[in-house]
Amino acid sequence: MNMTFRWYGDDDKVTLEQIKQIPGVSGIVSAIYDVTVGEVWSLEKIMDLKDEIEAYGLELLVIESVPVHEDIKLGLPTRDRYIANYCETLRNLAEAGIKVVCYNFMPVFDWTRSELDHELPDGSNALIYKHETVLKMDPLTGELSLPGWDSSYTKEGMKDLLAQYKSVTEEDLWNNLKYFLQHVIAVADEVGIKMAIHPDDPPWSIFGLPRIIANKENLERFINLVDSPNNGIALCSGSLGVDPNNDVPEIIRYFGKKGRIHFGHCRNIKITGEKCFEESSHKSADGSLDMVEIMKAYHDIDFNGPIRPDHGRMIWGETGRPGYGLYDRALGAAYLNGIWETLEKSN
Protein backbone atom coordinates (compact mmCIF):
# COMPACT_ATOMS: atom_id res chain seq x y z
CA MET A 1 0.00 0.00 0.00
CA ASN A 2 1.31 3.44 -0.95
CA MET A 3 -0.04 6.30 1.17
CA THR A 4 -0.60 9.36 -1.01
CA PHE A 5 -1.92 12.90 -0.55
CA ARG A 6 -4.01 15.10 -2.85
CA TRP A 7 -2.30 18.34 -3.92
CA TYR A 8 -3.98 20.99 -6.07
CA GLY A 9 -0.81 22.56 -7.43
CA ASP A 10 0.72 25.95 -6.78
CA ASP A 11 -2.67 27.50 -5.96
CA ASP A 12 -3.12 25.03 -3.08
CA LYS A 13 -2.66 26.47 0.41
CA VAL A 14 -1.15 23.13 1.35
CA THR A 15 2.45 22.95 0.17
CA LEU A 16 4.64 20.08 -0.94
CA GLU A 17 7.04 21.08 1.84
CA GLN A 18 4.28 20.39 4.37
CA ILE A 19 3.12 17.16 2.72
CA LYS A 20 6.60 15.62 2.72
CA GLN A 21 6.67 15.98 6.52
CA ILE A 22 3.60 13.74 7.02
CA PRO A 23 4.90 10.36 8.27
CA GLY A 24 4.39 7.57 5.77
CA VAL A 25 3.30 9.75 2.84
CA SER A 26 5.50 9.32 -0.23
CA GLY A 27 3.13 9.86 -3.15
CA ILE A 28 1.22 12.78 -4.59
CA VAL A 29 -2.18 12.74 -6.30
CA SER A 30 -2.58 15.75 -8.56
CA ALA A 31 -3.57 16.99 -12.00
CA ILE A 32 -3.11 19.84 -14.47
CA TYR A 33 -5.70 22.52 -13.86
CA ASP A 34 -5.03 25.13 -16.51
CA VAL A 35 -5.97 23.11 -19.61
CA THR A 36 -9.51 23.42 -20.98
CA VAL A 37 -11.58 20.28 -20.43
CA GLY A 38 -11.34 18.09 -23.52
CA GLU A 39 -8.00 19.43 -24.76
CA VAL A 40 -4.74 17.46 -24.76
CA TRP A 41 -2.38 17.67 -21.80
CA SER A 42 1.06 18.28 -23.27
CA LEU A 43 4.01 16.16 -22.21
CA GLU A 44 5.81 19.38 -21.26
CA LYS A 45 3.12 20.38 -18.74
CA ILE A 46 3.01 16.87 -17.29
CA MET A 47 6.79 16.79 -16.86
CA ASP A 48 6.79 20.23 -15.24
CA LEU A 49 4.30 18.95 -12.65
CA LYS A 50 6.25 15.74 -12.10
CA ASP A 51 9.58 17.56 -11.76
CA GLU A 52 8.14 20.03 -9.24
CA ILE A 53 6.85 17.18 -7.07
CA GLU A 54 10.03 15.12 -7.31
CA ALA A 55 12.10 18.13 -6.23
CA TYR A 56 10.59 17.58 -2.77
CA GLY A 57 11.46 13.89 -2.68
CA LEU A 58 7.88 12.87 -3.46
CA GLU A 59 6.48 10.88 -6.38
CA LEU A 60 3.56 11.70 -8.66
CA LEU A 61 1.69 8.39 -8.37
CA VAL A 62 -1.86 9.21 -9.48
CA ILE A 63 -3.47 11.72 -11.81
CA GLU A 64 -6.84 12.76 -10.41
CA SER A 65 -8.50 13.59 -12.65
CA VAL A 66 -8.39 13.75 -16.40
CA PRO A 67 -11.90 15.21 -16.84
CA VAL A 68 -14.28 13.59 -19.33
CA HIS A 69 -15.88 16.16 -21.65
CA GLU A 70 -19.66 16.46 -21.40
CA ASP A 71 -20.04 15.75 -25.13
CA ILE A 72 -18.70 12.25 -24.42
CA LYS A 73 -21.20 11.69 -21.61
CA LEU A 74 -23.99 13.04 -23.81
CA GLY A 75 -22.95 10.85 -26.75
CA LEU A 76 -22.79 13.78 -29.18
CA PRO A 77 -21.12 13.45 -32.62
CA THR A 78 -18.29 15.68 -31.35
CA ARG A 79 -17.31 13.07 -28.77
CA ASP A 80 -14.83 11.34 -31.10
CA ARG A 81 -12.60 14.42 -31.13
CA TYR A 82 -12.59 14.63 -27.35
CA ILE A 83 -11.99 10.89 -26.96
CA ALA A 84 -9.03 11.15 -29.34
CA ASN A 85 -7.66 14.00 -27.22
CA TYR A 86 -8.19 11.95 -24.07
CA CYS A 87 -6.25 9.06 -25.58
CA GLU A 88 -3.41 11.39 -26.54
CA THR A 89 -3.29 12.69 -22.97
CA LEU A 90 -3.02 9.11 -21.72
CA ARG A 91 -0.10 8.47 -24.06
CA ASN A 92 1.66 11.58 -22.76
CA LEU A 93 0.99 10.58 -19.15
CA ALA A 94 2.39 7.12 -19.80
CA GLU A 95 5.51 8.62 -21.37
CA ALA A 96 5.97 10.60 -18.15
CA GLY A 97 5.75 7.37 -16.14
CA ILE A 98 2.22 7.77 -14.73
CA LYS A 99 0.59 4.42 -13.93
CA VAL A 100 -2.85 5.34 -12.51
CA VAL A 101 -5.48 7.78 -13.79
CA CYS A 102 -8.63 8.50 -11.80
CA TYR A 103 -11.72 9.94 -13.49
CA ASN A 104 -15.49 10.02 -13.11
CA PHE A 105 -18.51 9.86 -15.38
CA MET A 106 -20.90 12.04 -13.37
CA PRO A 107 -22.97 14.32 -15.63
CA VAL A 108 -22.27 18.06 -15.20
CA PHE A 109 -21.47 18.08 -11.49
CA ASP A 110 -18.69 16.32 -9.64
CA TRP A 111 -19.10 15.48 -5.96
CA THR A 112 -21.92 17.49 -4.39
CA ARG A 113 -22.62 18.80 -0.90
CA SER A 114 -25.31 21.12 0.42
CA GLU A 115 -23.08 23.02 2.86
CA LEU A 116 -19.33 23.64 2.86
CA ASP A 117 -18.59 24.70 6.43
CA HIS A 118 -21.10 23.06 8.75
CA GLU A 119 -19.92 23.37 12.34
CA LEU A 120 -19.65 20.06 14.18
CA PRO A 121 -20.09 19.72 17.97
CA ASP A 122 -16.30 19.81 18.51
CA GLY A 123 -16.02 23.19 16.77
CA SER A 124 -14.51 21.86 13.55
CA ASN A 125 -16.14 22.45 10.18
CA ALA A 126 -17.12 19.82 7.64
CA LEU A 127 -18.84 19.29 4.34
CA ILE A 128 -22.39 17.97 4.73
CA TYR A 129 -25.17 16.77 2.46
CA LYS A 130 -28.90 17.17 3.09
CA HIS A 131 -31.00 15.86 0.24
CA GLU A 132 -33.99 18.11 1.01
CA THR A 133 -31.70 21.14 0.75
CA VAL A 134 -30.27 19.98 -2.56
CA LEU A 135 -33.77 19.40 -3.94
CA LYS A 136 -34.51 23.07 -3.30
CA MET A 137 -31.32 24.34 -4.92
CA ASP A 138 -31.24 25.77 -8.42
CA PRO A 139 -28.02 24.70 -10.17
CA LEU A 140 -28.30 27.69 -12.49
CA THR A 141 -27.79 30.25 -9.73
CA GLY A 142 -24.22 29.22 -8.95
CA GLU A 143 -25.06 29.36 -5.22
CA LEU A 144 -22.76 26.43 -4.54
CA SER A 145 -19.37 25.69 -6.05
CA LEU A 146 -17.05 22.87 -5.03
CA PRO A 147 -13.47 21.83 -5.86
CA GLY A 148 -13.51 19.77 -9.03
CA TRP A 149 -16.60 21.41 -10.54
CA ASP A 150 -16.15 22.88 -13.99
CA SER A 151 -16.69 26.62 -13.49
CA SER A 152 -16.20 27.51 -17.16
CA TYR A 153 -19.91 27.44 -18.02
CA THR A 154 -21.92 30.63 -18.19
CA LYS A 155 -25.44 30.63 -16.79
CA GLU A 156 -26.82 30.20 -20.31
CA GLY A 157 -24.26 27.50 -21.08
CA MET A 158 -25.26 25.59 -17.97
CA LYS A 159 -28.94 25.97 -18.85
CA ASP A 160 -28.32 24.55 -22.32
CA LEU A 161 -26.25 21.68 -20.91
CA LEU A 162 -28.92 20.67 -18.41
CA ALA A 163 -31.53 20.85 -21.18
CA GLN A 164 -29.49 18.41 -23.27
CA TYR A 165 -29.43 15.93 -20.39
CA LYS A 166 -33.23 15.91 -20.07
CA SER A 167 -33.42 13.24 -22.79
CA VAL A 168 -30.49 11.18 -21.47
CA THR A 169 -31.57 8.08 -19.56
CA GLU A 170 -29.44 5.89 -17.32
CA GLU A 171 -29.23 3.36 -20.13
CA ASP A 172 -28.06 6.07 -22.52
CA LEU A 173 -25.34 7.01 -20.06
CA TRP A 174 -24.26 3.37 -19.79
CA ASN A 175 -24.01 3.16 -23.57
CA ASN A 176 -22.00 6.38 -23.76
CA LEU A 177 -19.68 5.13 -21.03
CA LYS A 178 -19.12 1.87 -22.91
CA TYR A 179 -18.30 3.76 -26.12
CA PHE A 180 -15.76 5.86 -24.22
CA LEU A 181 -14.19 2.83 -22.55
CA GLN A 182 -13.87 0.85 -25.77
CA HIS A 183 -11.55 3.54 -27.10
CA VAL A 184 -9.77 4.59 -23.94
CA ILE A 185 -9.06 1.18 -22.42
CA ALA A 186 -7.51 0.04 -25.71
CA VAL A 187 -4.96 2.85 -25.27
CA ALA A 188 -4.57 2.10 -21.53
CA ASP A 189 -3.73 -1.49 -22.46
CA GLU A 190 -1.27 -0.26 -25.07
CA VAL A 191 0.63 2.10 -22.74
CA GLY A 192 0.19 0.34 -19.39
CA ILE A 193 -2.06 2.77 -17.50
CA LYS A 194 -4.64 1.65 -14.96
CA MET A 195 -7.88 3.59 -15.37
CA ALA A 196 -9.83 4.02 -12.12
CA ILE A 197 -13.41 5.28 -12.20
CA HIS A 198 -14.62 7.15 -9.12
CA PRO A 199 -18.10 6.25 -7.82
CA ASP A 200 -20.83 8.84 -8.04
CA ASP A 201 -20.81 11.12 -5.03
CA PRO A 202 -23.40 10.90 -3.63
CA PRO A 203 -24.51 7.65 -5.30
CA TRP A 204 -27.98 8.81 -6.33
CA SER A 205 -29.48 11.22 -8.86
CA ILE A 206 -29.16 14.96 -8.24
CA PHE A 207 -30.83 17.79 -10.17
CA GLY A 208 -32.60 15.15 -12.28
CA LEU A 209 -29.32 13.90 -13.76
CA PRO A 210 -28.65 10.17 -14.15
CA ARG A 211 -25.92 8.60 -12.04
CA ILE A 212 -24.84 5.02 -12.62
CA ILE A 213 -21.67 4.18 -10.63
CA ALA A 214 -23.43 3.76 -7.33
CA ASN A 215 -23.26 0.23 -5.90
CA LYS A 216 -21.76 -3.25 -6.21
CA GLU A 217 -24.16 -4.33 -8.95
CA ASN A 218 -23.35 -1.28 -11.07
CA LEU A 219 -19.61 -1.65 -10.49
CA GLU A 220 -19.86 -5.24 -11.69
CA ARG A 221 -21.66 -4.10 -14.82
CA PHE A 222 -19.01 -1.43 -15.29
CA ILE A 223 -15.97 -3.72 -15.22
CA ASN A 224 -17.71 -6.02 -17.70
CA LEU A 225 -18.30 -3.22 -20.23
CA VAL A 226 -14.69 -3.71 -21.33
CA ASP A 227 -13.05 -6.76 -19.82
CA SER A 228 -9.50 -5.56 -19.22
CA PRO A 229 -7.40 -5.53 -16.03
CA ASN A 230 -6.77 -1.84 -16.72
CA ASN A 231 -10.50 -1.06 -16.54
CA GLY A 232 -10.85 -0.60 -12.80
CA ILE A 233 -12.15 1.34 -9.85
CA ALA A 234 -11.13 4.17 -7.54
CA LEU A 235 -12.81 2.69 -4.49
CA CYS A 236 -14.11 5.63 -2.46
CA SER A 237 -15.43 4.50 0.91
CA GLY A 238 -17.14 7.83 1.55
CA SER A 239 -19.00 7.93 -1.76
CA LEU A 240 -20.31 4.38 -1.56
CA GLY A 241 -20.67 4.36 2.22
CA VAL A 242 -23.34 7.06 2.44
CA ASP A 243 -25.76 4.43 1.13
CA PRO A 244 -26.20 1.96 4.03
CA ASN A 245 -26.99 -0.76 1.50
CA ASN A 246 -23.35 -0.66 0.33
CA ASP A 247 -21.12 -2.95 2.40
CA VAL A 248 -17.80 -1.22 1.69
CA PRO A 249 -15.41 -3.88 3.10
CA GLU A 250 -17.28 -6.60 1.18
CA ILE A 251 -17.12 -4.53 -2.02
CA ILE A 252 -13.35 -4.06 -1.52
CA ARG A 253 -12.80 -7.78 -1.06
CA TYR A 254 -15.00 -8.69 -4.02
CA PHE A 255 -13.43 -6.37 -6.59
CA GLY A 256 -9.98 -6.62 -5.05
CA LYS A 257 -9.91 -10.35 -5.69
CA LYS A 258 -10.73 -9.56 -9.31
CA GLY A 259 -7.76 -7.19 -9.45
CA ARG A 260 -9.96 -4.24 -10.36
CA ILE A 261 -9.26 -1.79 -7.52
CA HIS A 262 -6.51 0.54 -8.72
CA PHE A 263 -6.84 3.38 -6.20
CA GLY A 264 -8.36 3.81 -2.75
CA HIS A 265 -10.05 6.85 -1.25
CA CYS A 266 -10.45 6.44 2.50
CA ARG A 267 -13.08 8.77 3.91
CA ASN A 268 -15.39 8.38 6.87
CA ILE A 269 -18.88 9.85 6.98
CA LYS A 270 -21.66 9.98 9.54
CA ILE A 271 -25.12 9.17 8.20
CA THR A 272 -27.58 11.61 9.80
CA GLY A 273 -30.79 10.62 8.01
CA GLU A 274 -32.11 9.25 4.75
CA LYS A 275 -29.80 10.59 2.02
CA CYS A 276 -28.21 12.88 4.59
CA PHE A 277 -24.67 12.75 5.94
CA GLU A 278 -21.80 14.78 7.28
CA GLU A 279 -18.11 14.17 6.77
CA SER A 280 -16.25 13.18 9.92
CA SER A 281 -12.70 12.51 10.98
CA HIS A 282 -11.27 9.28 9.61
CA LYS A 283 -11.55 7.57 13.02
CA SER A 284 -14.08 4.72 13.04
CA ALA A 285 -15.80 5.89 16.23
CA ASP A 286 -16.50 9.31 14.74
CA GLY A 287 -18.45 8.11 11.71
CA SER A 288 -20.72 5.41 10.34
CA LEU A 289 -17.97 3.44 8.60
CA ASP A 290 -15.56 1.00 10.24
CA MET A 291 -12.24 2.23 8.88
CA VAL A 292 -10.36 -0.56 10.62
CA GLU A 293 -12.45 -3.14 8.77
CA ILE A 294 -12.04 -1.18 5.51
CA MET A 295 -8.24 -1.19 5.87
CA LYS A 296 -8.35 -4.86 6.85
CA ALA A 297 -10.23 -5.57 3.61
CA TYR A 298 -7.46 -3.87 1.63
CA HIS A 299 -4.90 -5.88 3.60
CA ASP A 300 -6.77 -9.12 2.95
CA ILE A 301 -6.54 -8.58 -0.83
CA ASP A 302 -2.82 -7.73 -0.59
CA PHE A 303 -3.50 -4.29 -2.02
CA ASN A 304 -0.26 -2.69 -3.18
CA GLY A 305 -1.63 0.36 -4.95
CA PRO A 306 -2.09 4.00 -3.90
CA ILE A 307 -4.47 5.02 -1.12
CA ARG A 308 -5.16 8.53 0.10
CA PRO A 309 -7.01 10.08 3.01
CA ASP A 310 -9.99 11.74 1.44
CA HIS A 311 -11.88 14.85 2.49
CA GLY A 312 -11.11 16.06 5.98
CA ARG A 313 -12.67 18.50 8.39
CA MET A 314 -11.28 22.01 8.75
CA ILE A 315 -9.75 22.02 12.24
CA TRP A 316 -7.64 24.30 14.46
CA GLY A 317 -8.89 27.39 12.66
CA GLU A 318 -7.56 26.31 9.25
CA THR A 319 -9.14 27.94 6.21
CA GLY A 320 -8.88 27.13 2.53
CA ARG A 321 -10.31 24.67 0.02
CA PRO A 322 -13.33 22.98 1.68
CA GLY A 323 -12.52 19.40 2.64
CA TYR A 324 -8.87 19.74 1.62
CA GLY A 325 -7.14 21.31 4.59
CA LEU A 326 -3.79 19.98 5.73
CA TYR A 327 -4.32 19.12 9.36
CA ASP A 328 -7.23 16.69 9.42
CA ARG A 329 -6.09 14.87 6.29
CA ALA A 330 -2.59 14.54 7.77
CA LEU A 331 -4.13 13.05 10.91
CA GLY A 332 -6.12 10.74 8.64
CA ALA A 333 -3.00 9.57 6.84
CA ALA A 334 -1.28 8.84 10.15
CA TYR A 335 -4.36 6.98 11.42
CA LEU A 336 -4.66 4.85 8.29
CA ASN A 337 -0.93 4.09 8.31
CA GLY A 338 -1.19 3.07 11.96
CA ILE A 339 -3.98 0.60 11.15
CA TRP A 340 -1.95 -0.79 8.25
CA GLU A 341 1.21 -1.20 10.33
CA THR A 342 -0.77 -3.04 13.01
CA LEU A 343 -2.24 -5.38 10.40
CA GLU A 344 1.21 -6.02 8.91
CA LYS A 345 2.75 -6.84 12.29
CA SER A 346 -0.15 -9.03 13.41
CA ASN A 347 0.43 -11.52 10.57
Please identify every residue annotated as catalytic. 198, 236, 265, 310-311, 324
Burial of 118 per CB tally in 10 Å (0-12, 13-18, 19+): middle
Strand partners, 235: 264
Of 62, 102, 59, which Cα lies nearest the Cα of 239?
102
Instruction: Compute the distance between CA of residue 255 and CA of residue 50 in angstroms, rounded to an integer.
Output: 30
Can you give the length of the chain in residues? 347
Task: Tell me the three state secondary structure of residue 108.
Answer: coil
CA angle 261, 263, 265 (to 5 degrees): 115
CA 293, CA 36: separation in Å to the nearest integer?
40
C-alpha span between 244 and 272 (Å, rounded) = 11
